[in-house]
Amino acid sequence: MTLKLISHNLCPYVQRAAIALMEKGVPFERTDIDLSNKPDWFLKLSPLGKTPVLIVNNMPIFESAVILEYLEDTQPPALHPEDPLERAQHRGWIEFASAILNDIAGLYNAVDQGAFADKQAELGRKFARLESQLGNGPFFSGSDFSLVDAAFAPVFRYFDTIDEIVGLGLFDDAPKVSAWRKSLSDRPSVQKAVSADYPLRLREFLQKRNSVLSGLILKDTQSAA
Ligand SMILES: N[C@@H](CCC(=O)N[C@@H](CS)C(=O)NCC(=O)O)C(=O)O
């Protein structure tokens, strides 16, 4: 079986799939595409025109949550809990990670202070909710790495760059979330899910948004010069 992951170098949804593949020790080939100039072959494979797409024996699977489920159905070790109720809860928390990714996009695209503050507050509420959900770690549901961890690692990775630009204080009252974030950033599969130039590329991407955050990057760059 050959597996190809059609990717974009900054896409957090691609990272979920790459992390799950590496956790399961499945070899795969990764092809990065330019989402601002989508190739025709990609549009033929991807009904929504979005990354990731996983190609399995020439058959495309789209939507990251579906790709994760397919990998779970076909490749050991299991990264979902065995109990159906717990498994359903994990799927719910993966959706929660997607909602946070939408809030992050809202934050970096916010064009005025009001919209920026709203997104900051919403992210604060979501991380507080997560704080009350977590146990003693090091991962979401204890000692075993799960698909929820694969979904949250790319969420936290954004803040490695955003924290350098502006202090949002999102994790100040969330010690369990902070410890979880650290456990995920130390995980080899998480580290290998992006290329070495990811922080630089993300900064460039954020700088081009014409947003409140872009303005802060500009100030940061000027004060460093
Ligand atoms: N719900 C999708 C979201 C994927 C997604 O939003 N991918 C972005 C890149 S991170 C994309 O391809 N955007 C291109 C577009 O929307 O035109 C999933 O979970 O796979």
For ligand 1, whether the C-beta of 130 sits within 6 Å is no
Backbone phi, psi, residue 110, to 5°: -60, 130
Rounded Cα gap, residues 25 and 123, in angstroms: 33
With the most atoms of ligand 1 within 8 angstroms of its CB, the residue from 8, 11, 13, 46 to mutate is: 13
- Enter the pTM of the model: 0.96
- The CB-side HSE value for 3 (13 A sphere, CA atoms) comes to 19
For the chain, the distance separating the N- and C-terminal CA atoms, rounded to the nearest angstrom, is 51
Rounded Cα gap, residues 200 and 12, in angstroms: 15
For ligand 1, whether the C-beta of 47 sits within 6 Å is no
Render each residue's pLDDT in the chain as its tens digit; 225 residues: 789 999 999 999 999 999 999 999 999 999 999 999 999 999 999 999 999 999 999 999 999 999 999 999 999 999 999 999 999 999 999 999 999 999 999 999 999 999 999 999 999 999 999 999 999 999 999 999 999 999 999 999 999 999 999 999 999 999 999 999 999 999 999 999 999 999 999 999 999 999 999 999 988 777 777
183 touches 194 (CB < 8 A):
no
Read off the tokens for 175.
Answer: 């010690």
Q: Distance, CA 62 to ligand 1 centroid (Å)?
A: 10
